[in-house]
Amino acid sequence: MTKRRTPTWAEDSEVRGGGHERPYAYEQGNQQAYDQGNQQQYQGQQQPYGQGNQQAYDQGNQQAYGHGDQQAYAQPGQQPYGQGHQQSYPQAQQRQVGNESLRQYVQNAPPPLYPHHPEYDEGAAGGRQLTNTGTWRFNGRTSKYLDQATFQIYAPFDPYAQYTAVEPEPEAQEEKPGYTLPAVPESAWSVDTRRSRLLGRLILLCILLVQAGLSLRLGGTAFQDEALYIASGHYELDNLLHGTKLPVDFAAYFSGHPKLYPILAAVVDDRFGLFGVRVVSLLFMLGATGLLYSLTRRLFNLRAALGAAALFSVVQSTVVLGNLATYDAAAVFLLALSAWAVVRTDRMNALAVLLAAPPAALAFGVKYASGLYLPTLVVLAVITAHRHRGIRALGRGVVLGAGTVALLAVGYYFSGPLGGISSTTTDREKGADTAATMLQHSAEWGGLLFLAALVGSIAYVLRARMGEMPWIGGETTGRWRRAALGLVLTGTTLLAPAYQINLQTEISLYKHVGFGLLFAAPLAGLGMARLVGPHFRHPQLGILLYVLTLVFGMVQAQERAHSFADSTQMIAYMRTIVDKKGEYLAEEAEVPGYYLRDKTYWTQWNNTYFMDYRGKDGKQYAGAGAFRQAVRDGKFDAIVMHGAISPATYAAVKEGLKGNSRYRLAAVFPYTSSYGENAYRIWVKR
């Protein structure tokens, strides 16, 4: 007894009592009824305890009880059975064996050596049976009298004598059940209850509040991309409603379909302004966190779900995207929705997975880069298929893939040519960012979550359950399936960095890393739960992980959100000098183009990236030379620059301004970004 591992409370009287009662009840005739009727009921209703009992049999009680019984049943044929049988099974299967052996023991055991009693003997001869309730059954009827004779003698004189209802013999059902109960996932300290669910949702609410706070605190004026998408949305909306011609073919260079997110953004912007559009993004990100919680809970358990939501909600990408009016937030949400649908329909008909296809296809339409994650969804559909489905699980993946592709094909047919796909996503201009810096930055942005996911994956492969409640056996998915799940979800994190390293450009990488983190988050949550350990043994580790992620996320998000100029003053000044006819050169031209769209038209704003210009001297200029010559020629009515985005153009413009009396510096608006002090400089024509 020194090595006892059963919790003492698991060894309570109920357990013991159950054990003791059985041999008493296991008489010849009764046994059948017990096996067929009660056993099923017993196991069905009290599964946890059933397993607890086995435990007790295996470990604690075995010595005391098992040996005692064996001595009591000292029969020649029995001893080899009782001992030899148990030894012949490996330790791992002991539980099942224990269960099995006990039953077989009772079935196969010779009649017990109860002292002969006339009543027992007679009863046995008369075919009577002792029921559970302590009455006797004979001739198909139940009575408290021991036998027919006694009944006939005494019953007429017994005022309380009555026949109880006939209990029909339950018919034996030998055929295999048509439906196997799915494995009940281990979920928490206590079995999943309404209370734990409520608690989980309350914590989720706190997580979401933290996320919202982190995002909303960033604020700031419109970022270049936000300005571009919202402004384009206004023009696209006019194009849809009134057939107004588009100023430029946005579809040719957008990294998402210009008639999806931008239109939504424009509609919201009309009502609530930039803040409103950003709140929509925030809602998308909060929705993604919520879906993540739900799908992780279904994949693993409540604790992993909370961990996943907590970690995902504070990484830089989530926080920043929640305050960025671009289609990234919408795409993340749609991917999360699709993943959730995949996991949610795991036990349904294979066709049900088609529910995940529309959000997946839409995610691609909203932002083409989401396409990188569609394969993950397909593989996830295969892995999460109900485990009894076997090879048919592949069908789920095929169905989802085919459905998504079909939807995309239909969408493409109606949308027409989309040059933006190649120019922004598949065939983007190669940059000059090195793999080392990109990896380092990716590690800073998502490294912690990735590591947590790695820990989660390894731990998950090693053990399907944490073993907090070892008496809960239940079915678990196989090791290969667990490994595959960990590999796919964690590996997805690496897609974006790998792809962009291939493209050698770090543009938007911080956002795309966040897409991958969404998929790794479930395993990161699991990793966090495993770090904390069974029975919350090491809460400090979980807290440490969360706080570290939070601090990194907060700091990085703050830097990111203030990496560009605050344009308030510049816009206010430009508002006083622009008109419907002027031509303006502006760094981040989208920003004034968006804010001043009531006073100017989109094409009045020249960007500082590309320019082809035929000078007044008749020569054709391109690149920086074009800007220089255009400034010399006085092409622009106003020039707004700060040099942080296109330093080469800035230098060229300054060169053009040298000895040039057409322009006069009209305003200087200093601003502070996370890259340092800088200033908008505005030159106007004299």
Partner 1 sequence: MTFSVRSVHTLRTVRALAAALLAGALLAGCSTFSEEGRDQYERSQGEPPAAEGAEGAEGAGGEASESAKSVDQPYDVRPLLEPKKKYLGVAADGAPAKMNAVEDFAKRAGKKPNLMEFYSAWGDQYERELVQNAWDYGAVAYIAWEPFETSLKDIAAGKEDKYIREYASSVKELNLPVAISWAHEMNGFWYPWGTKKTSPADFTAAYKHIHDLFAEEGATQVIWVWSPNVINPMPKVKLKPYWPGDEYVDWVGVIGYYAEYGPHTYKSLYGPTMTQIRTFTKKPFIIAETAAQAGERKPADIKDLFQGTAKRDDVIGFVWFNYDKETDWRISSGPLSQKTFREQAQSDSFGFDVTKP
Chain residues that interact with partner 1, rule: CB under 8 A: 5, 55, 59, 92, 94-95, 440, 443-444, 447-448, 451, 454-455, 458-459, 462-463, 467, 470-471, 473, 527, 530-531, 533, 538, 541, 544-545, 548, 552, 555-556, 558-559, 561-563, 569, 572-573, 576-577, 657-661, 663-670, 672-677, 679, 681, 684, 686
Closer to partner 1 at the Cβ: 92 or 165? 92
Closer to partner 1 at the Cβ: 344 or 511? 511
Q: Give the three-state DSSP class for 404.
A: helix
- Beta strands of 487-623 (E only): which ranges? 584-586, 605-606, 612-614, 620-622
Closer to partner 1 at the Cβ: 467 or 478? 467
92 alpha-carbon distance from chain centroid: 32
Closest by Cα among 45, 343, 297 to 186:
297
Residue bearing tokens 């009824």: 33
Closer to partner 1 at the Cβ: 347 or 562? 562
Contact 20, 13 (CB under 8 A): no
Smallest distance from partner 1 to CB 61, Å:
15
Smallest distance from partner 1 to CB 251, Å:
34
Closer to partner 1 at the Cβ: 612 or 677? 677
Smallest distance from partner 1 to CB 455, Å:
5
Smallest distance from partner 1 to CB 335, Å:
25
Query: What tokens were used for 348?
Result: 């349904």
Closer to partner 1 at the Cβ: 507 or 548? 548
Closer to partner 1 at the Cβ: 428 or 530? 530
Pairing relationship of beta strands 584-586 and 605-606 according to DSSP bridges? parallel
Closer to partner 1 at the Cβ: 322 or 446? 446
Tell me the longest C-alpha to C-alpha distance in the chain.
Answer: 133
What backbone torsions phi and psi does residue 575 show, to the nearest 5 degrees? -55, -30
User: For residue 43, how many other CB atoms are within 10 A of its CB?
Assistant: 13
Smallest distance from partner 1 to CB 482, Å:
15
What are the counts of helices (DSSP H) followed by strands (DSSP E) for the chain? 30, 10
Rounded Cα distance between 58 and 90, Å, is 13
Smallest distance from partner 1 to CB 345, Å:
32
Rounded Cα distance between 315 and 297, Å, is 20
Closer to partner 1 at the Cβ: 278 or 530? 530
Smallest distance from partner 1 to CB 667, Å:
4
Which residues 6+ apart lie within 8 Å of 522 measured at CB?
Answer: 292, 295, 296, 299, 300, 304, 305, 308, 456, 489
Closer to partner 1 at the Cβ: 292 or 684? 684
Instruction: Name the H helices within 386-434.
Output: 393-415, 419-420
Closer to partner 1 at the Cβ: 45 or 672? 672
Smallest distance from partner 1 to CB 10, Å:
12
Rounded Cα distance between 538 and 76, Å, is 53
Rounded Cα distance between 214 and 285, Å, is 12
Closer to partner 1 at the Cβ: 533 or 615? 533
CA 175 to each of CA 9, 171, 181: distance values in angstroms, whole numbers, following the listed order: 38, 12, 16
Smallest distance from partner 1 to CB 456, Å:
10
List 580's β-bridge partners, or say none: none
Residue bearing tokens 């040719």: 252
Query: What tokens were used for 480?
Result: 């290969």
Smallest distance from partner 1 to CB 50, Å:
14
Cα angle 631, 635, 637 (rounded to 5 degrees) comes to 95
Query: What tokens were used for 653?
Result: 């413009």
Pairing relationship of beta strands 612-614 and 663-673 according to DSSP bridges? unpaired
Closer to partner 1 at the Cβ: 144 or 575? 575
Smallest distance from partner 1 to CB 592, Å:
15
Smallest distance from partner 1 to CB 309, Å:
20
Rounded Cα distance between 225 and 234, Å, is 14
Element (H, E) at 678: strand 676-685
Rounded Cα distance between 338 and 340, Å, is 5
CA dihedral angle for residue 555, residue 561, residue 562, residue 568, rounded to 10 degrees: -150
What backbone torsions phi and psi does residue 97 show, to the nearest 5 degrees? -65, -40
Closer to partner 1 at the Cβ: 383 or 455? 455
Smallest distance from partner 1 to CB 369, Å:
25
Rounded Cα distance between 30 and 42, Å, is 16
Smallest distance from partner 1 to CB 526, Å:
12
